[in-house]
Amino acid sequence: MDFHEKDAGGYVVLGPTGKLNLVSAPPVKARIDDLVREGKSRIVVDLAAVDFIDSSGLGALIGGLKSARLAGGDLRIAVAGEQVRAVLKLTNLDKILKPHTTVEEAGSAW
């Protein structure tokens, strides 16, 4: 899986591309864990280029959320597409990982 990364001042933006599934979720989770270990525990995952997510992808996001929160930070998601929002809603994870409309909106509350 390809993803871009950007330091946005008070938080880091991580933007995966393509499908967030069994194959691609582990590298995303590993990068989130690396960021947290580096002291960057405020993370916004930009899902604009993710066109599909499954339970493995959700697991990576929830695992990343847990890691970030244990380190005193948080993980937020932004720009989720229709399929991603539908899966979040279907699993009730939209209550835990509330999708923000923009990356800036997700990062503005810090």
Q: What is the tens place of the pLDDT at every residue in 57-110? A: 999 999 999 999 999 999 999 999 999 999 999 999 999 999 999 999 999 977
| Domain assignment of residue 44, yes or no | yes
pTM for the whole thing?
A: 0.95
Any domain includes 110 = no
CATH number at residue 69: 3.30.750.24
Whole-number pLDDT of residue 95 = 96
Residue 60 lies in a domain: yes
pLDDT of residue 2: 86
Structurally, how many domains does the chain consist of?
Answer: 1
The reply to whether 109 falls in a domain is no
Q: What is the token pair recorded at 92?
A: 């009730």
| Segment 13-35 mean pLDDT | 97
Q: What range does the domain containing 26 cover?
A: 3-103
pLDDT for the residue numbered 72: 98
Those residues whose C-beta lies under 8 Å from the C-beta of residue 70, and which sit 6 or more positions away, are: none
Contact 81, 49 (CB under 8 A): no
The whole-number pLDDT of residue 68 equals 98
> What's at 23, amino acid-wise?
V
